[in-house]
A and B are shown apart, each in its own frame.
Chain A
Amino acid sequence: MGAIMWRMVKSLFVHLPLMLLALGAIYFVCQGHESLSQVIREQYRGSSSKALLTVLGDARGDLMKWTFVGFVASWLASCLFLASAERARPANENEAGSKLGLWSFLLIATIAALAAYGWISLTRAQASLLPGTFMASLLISGLAVLAAYYLSTALMVRRVMRPSVPLAAGLPARWS
């Protein structure tokens, strides 16, 4: 149990910096009035700058919340995978790759969760921000979440179970 908990903590250490990086990138991308969509700018023409900043802050907040939820989902998925891999006792390379299905399923589940939550929670942000800004933010967050899932599983999984994570064999094994 101790080993599983420790791997979960190590997975958290992979997720945290990537999440901070993603949040910082979103903050940077959604910084000025020019990030807001033409419709919003027209709508708030003549209003105070503070009102525009409020709209921008709400959109940015939605994106950040979505990013945070994505990282939590990814961390939970990686914990599930790491716990499952920790309990496996492979006796050969084929058995060592036996968790690849679970790894793929959890990856897809994380993507699906991100998409579903985005569908629900990002309507306002999509309407408020320029399409390019919105898509760039989505891309940055999505990629960061996927990178966190991949790196946390590839680097932290038990060494003997690395064949269950695609291409993990080529990565350094010092943390596994």
Chain B
Amino acid sequence: MSHRTAPVALRDRLLFRDAELPAFVEKALGNGFASEAVVLSTCNRSEIYAVAPAGADPHAIRGALEAAWGAVRDVTTEELRAHSYFHGGDEAVRHLFRVVGSLDSMVLGEMQILGQVKDAYQAASENRWTDFWLDHVFQAGFHAGKRIHAETAIHEGAVSVSYAAVELARKVLGDVAGKSAGLVGTGEMGELAAQHLHRAGVRDFRFFNRSPASAEKLAATFGGEARGLDELSAGMAECDIMISATGATGTVITAPMVREAARHRRGVPLFLIDIAAPADIAPEAGEVENTFLFTLDDLRSAVEENADRRREAARAAEAIVEEEVARVSAWARGLEAVPVLRKLRDKYARVAEREIERHAAGQPPEVRAKLEALGRGLLNKFLHAPTVGLKRLGEQGQAQRANHYAGEFFALDEGESDAEG
């Protein structure tokens, strides 16, 4: 289940915790519900990627896994079924690749999911819950994810207002780590912006507020100093980034205040963000030399443009997913030729062995070694073309027909005497 199918309360309830994961997966593998499994559990999705044992009905296995999972969390199978989804074959591969490429994420193009899927796969691999199939499919998924991130702009541009403010600050000031920031007002939006700045490396904060108590609280959380609004005019000259988010009805930062701050800053750029409604900063402040003012509307329009661009990039990403799914699908179809290839090789290897034995009898060891090398060489050369042909036909979805004709041409179901000619 994911954010697309289940409400957050149910997702939280059914979230797999690290401690209970081994018991659940090992029980599923032990009971024969699956031969391989990877469990991906994040705040937006809980998914089980499993390989059904040979001959098993995947739908029955889905029911068994749902029942086992529901029992752990005390959720009925019906409730779980109503909010979960099931994909098999190519659809399952496509879903994994879309998840890895963050095409199925709540925020299109977010970067964390690739790491989360890698962690889930690594945990499964370390516990030996994966093998031939899931190893290949997950590696192909990581390759698809890497391609999407390298070849498309899906992760570019901020898609939240407060992060867009930080991104714009970077466009003016370069690396914001080590810069000083001033925050006017201590509301939720301002705090969020401070959080983003703190995450970007800003450690030198000045919190300006009418009530000193809430400013001191923020100063304690993010570091820096708490100051009264009366110190704003002088304090602004010390800040590279000023964010204003008060609930005031009038102008808090006027153009003369900014002009004075710019004069003290001697040309060092001042980045002003006004995320208050109504606006705190006079629009004329943006006209002061080396001062850059952005309002809530500017940030919203930047976010919308970024979201549009991500949606456009998603189309290119979907095409990459389809290419990679087709590649995995061809690989899987090619595997259908493997039993016949093995039979073919075994049969002719035995023939070669027998012939070598016949001619090497009574010969010195070096002659035997030469005959063995000759036999191996001829075997590889003779079987090269049929091997490639069978694999190719398998990848094209004609494995059954190809296997049938190979069996007929090479008499694979008959004794070895035929091959001797």
- State yes or no: do A and B come from one complex: no
